[in-house]
Amino acid sequence: MNTTTNAAASITLSIDGMSCGHCVQAVTKALSALPGVKVRSVAVGSAEIVANDGWAAGTAIAALQEAGYPARATAGEPSAAPKAGGGCCGGTGGASATAKPGVRPTGGCCG
């Protein structure tokens, strides 16, 4: 019999590089595939998850980073506005004078 208890915690993530519904789907899919993580909601720029422990929360952040969406846990409510420095599906975030035409400098769903 397992007597270990896990205190599930609700965590709000601030996520960069999201700009459209496809990004929301990609983030939802990445988070939903993780053991110990329950997705409550995903919107452009943020997600609310329930993680069984700190390891699961860290895994969620790492999975989003690997998918091209830098994320961090936030205290309080993140802004609903899209974050700078990303962009998807033709978004302009992260563009620079030295960027190669047609190549997005950050990851994300289309990169």
Any residues with CB less than 8 A from the CB of 57 and at least 6 apart, and which?
A: 9, 11, 37, 49, 51, 73
Residue 35 lies in a domain: yes
CATH of residue 36's domain is: 3.30.70.100
The domain tally of the chain equals: 1
How far, in Å, CA of 97 to CA of 90, rounded? 16
How far, in Å, CA of 77 to CA of 83, rounded? 14
Torsion 14-41-95-70 (CA) sign: positive
Residue 34 lies in a domain: yes
Domain that residue 25 falls in: 9-74
Q: Given its phi and psi angles, is residue 18 left (phi above 0), alpha (psi -120 to 50 degrees) or beta?
A: beta
111 residues of the chain, pLDDT tens digit each: 444 455 788 999 999 999 999 999 999 999 999 999 999 999 999 999 999 988 999 999 999 999 999 999 984 333 333 333 444 554 434 333 333 344 344 445 555
How far, in Å, CA of 52 to CA of 16, rounded? 24
